[in-house]
Chains A and B, each alone.
Chain A
C-alpha cells in the first residue's frame, strides 16, 4: 500500500511537470509518424526514374537551382552483366542545356552560387557537356560504368541511350521508396526494407529515445528528491511509520516507473506503427525499453545520491549529465581504441586515464551499441549486421558484463544515497 502510494505520488509529480507533457507530445508525434511510414519496393525502372528526376536540381552548398527538364526513364532492362540499359528522355531541351552549363560553370568557378544567372541563359550546351553532366549525376548516385549516347527525340526534347552498373546490386534491384506522413514526403532508398527499418529503429533508439528522451527524463526527475527534502515537506514524510531507506527506494522506483512508461509508450508505439505499416514484426526494437530503463536507472540512482547530498536539483542535473557524458565518452574512446580507430598522437597517460574511467563508470555506451547491434542482427542476420559501420565497436558477447556492471553501479549509487539519507538531520 505504501509503495503504491509513493508510486502514485511520483506519478502525480511527473504529470505536474510541463517537461513531461512536452516529452509526451513529442513521443506522440513520433508514434504518429511511425504509423504514417510506408516502405514500398521499387522496380529497377522506378528506381532509375527516381534517380533521373533528381537531375532537375543542382546544388552547391546551400545554394540551389531547379530547371524542370522532365527527365524520364523508359524501357529499362538488365544488360546481363549486372547493369541496366534504358532510354533517358528530357521533355525540355533548354532546361537540360541550362542545367549542364550551370553545372560546368559551378565546377569551373565562374559561378559562385547555383542560382546566379548564366551569362547567356538561352544558349545551347555542347552535347558532350550534356553527356558529361548526365554521367556525373549518375555516378553521384553510386551508379558506375555509365555510358550515355544521344538518341532520337522529338523537336524541343532530348533523349539518350544509357547504360549503368550499380556499385551494389540493391541500389537498383531491391530498392525501396520510404514515405512519411502518409506519402506526403517520399525518398528513394537504395536498400532493402529490413535495412531501412533497422536504420529507422536504430536512429530512434540511439538519438531520439536514447539521447533526447533520456536527457528530458534526467531533467524532469532530478528535482524529485531535492523537492521531497524541502523543509516542511520531508518532516511530514519522515513522521510516517516508514524507514528512510524504504522511502528513498520507493521514491527512486517512482521516478524509474516514469521512464519505463514513457519509453514503453514511445518505443512500443513506434514498433507497432512500423510493424503495421511494413508487415515486418521483428521484436528486437522492443529491447530498447529495458536498455533505456537500465541506462536511466543508473543515471537516476546517481542523481538521487547527489540530490540527497546537495538538496539541489540543478546540481543533480549537471552532475548526472557529467557522469553520462563521461561514461559515454570513455566507452566510445575505449571501443574505438579496440578497433584501432584512435589517434596515435594521443598521450599514453590520457589513454590510460580514459581506460580507467571506462572500467569504473556505467557502461552506457556499450549498452547503446549492443542494443543497436541487436536490432541490426535481428533484421539483417549476424553476417550482414557485422558489415555495418561501427558493428565491431563492442563485442556482442559483452552483454552480461555491461548489464551486470551497470546494475552493480546502480546498486552502489542507491545504497550510498540511502546511507546518507539515513544519517542526515532534517
Chain B
C-alpha cells in the first residue's frame, strides 16, 4: 500500500486554481521530490495532505487514512517552509511540547530530545530561548521536531533553506538514513542538485498540474554517448554519419545519439578499423535542472 495517495485533487482560492487535478502516489520507503516554480502549487499540495488547507475536491490519503482524519497525521512529520516557533520556548521545551502533541510519552521524549538535540548540534543552545537562534539553528530545530516522534512519513518543505553547505550535507545524510530505516520522505525543494542526489522519484508541478513524473534515474538517463577519440576523425566521418546520422564532433570529442545500443558497438568497430584509438566512452546524462527547465518552459498542453 502506498504511504501517500492523491487522486484528482483540486484547490481554488477564489478565481485562482492552485491545484488542478493532481494525482500521484508515493510508495513506502521512497524519497519523493516535488519540484515546481514559486506558486506552482507544491506547498498547497503538502498543506492539503496535512489538512492545513481544505481541498475543493478530490481525494487524498496518508498511510491508508483520509487526510481529514486527525489520526492520519499520527505517524507523519512536517517541516514547513518559513516555519516560526514560539519564541518563548527553548529548543528543549519546544521539542517537548510538539512531542507531547504528537503523542510521544514523557519517558520517550526525555530519551529522544537530548539525542536529537545532539544530532542537530543544538545541545549547547538547548536551554536558550528560540528568539536568540540563527536561521540555521531554527531550521535544524524544525527538522528535529519533524522527526521527533519517529514518523513513518515526513514532509519537508525546503529543509535546507538557510543551512550552510556542511549543514546541507548533514541534512542529506539524515534523509538517506531515514530512508534506510524504511521511512517515506516527501520533499519540496528548489535545490535541484540536492533533490537529484537523494530522491528516488520526482514530480514536476506547473500551474497546479503534475506535468511530469518519474524516477530520477529514468528522467536523467542519457540519450547519447560521448566518445573521446585519439587521432583525426576526418577519415571516418562520412562512414560515421551513415552509421549514426545525428553524430556531432567537437575537437576529439564525438557525440553519438543512441538510437539502438548496437549502433555504439558499430561505431566503435568503425573507429578501430580506421586506426583511431578510443580514449574514453561515457553516457551523456541530463541534469534534473535541464529536465525541470525544459518541462516548465514547454508550452502548456492544449
Contacts and interface: CB of A to CB of B under 8 A. Distances in A.
Contact of B83 (A5, A12, A233): A233
A383 interface: no
B100 A4 contact: yes
Interface string B128-172: 000000000000000001000000000100000000000000000
A242 B81 CA distance: 21
A233 B88 contact: no
Contact of B88 (A12, A230, A236): A12
A426 interface: yes
Residue among A9, A237, A426 with max Cβ neighbours from chain B (10 Å) = A9
B84 interface: yes
Interface string B19-62: 00000000000000000000000000001001111100000000
B52 A8 contact: no
A426 B78 CA distance: 15
Contacts of B257: none
B100 A5 contact: yes
Given A4-B100, A227-B86, A425-B52, A235 B80 contact: yes
B73 A239 contact: yes
A250 to B, nearest CB: 10
A235 B71 contact: no
Contact of A8 (B51, B70, B97, B102): B97
Contacts of A81: none
A230 B83 CA distance: 9
Contacts of A230: 84
B83 A238 contact: no
Contacts of A109: none
Contact of B52 (A1, A13, A238, A243): A238
Given A5-B97, A241-B73, A236 B85 contact: yes
Contacts of B96: 5
A352 B66 CA distance: 52
Interface in A1-58: 1-2, 4-6, 8-9, 12-13, 15-16
A232 B82 contact: yes
Contacts of B78: 235-236, 239
B76 interface: yes
Nearest to B53: A425
A407 B145 CA distance: 38
Interface in B80-123: 80-89, 93, 96-98, 100-103, 105-106
Interface of A: 1-2, 4-6, 8-9, 12-13, 15-16, 227, 230-243, 423, 425-426
21 contacts: A1-B103, A2-B100, A2-B101, A9-B97, A12-B86, A12-B89, A13-B88, A231-B82, A235-B47, A235-B50, A236-B80, A236-B85, A238-B52, A239-B50, A239-B73, A239-B76, A241-B73, A241-B74, A241-B102, A242-B101, A425-B47
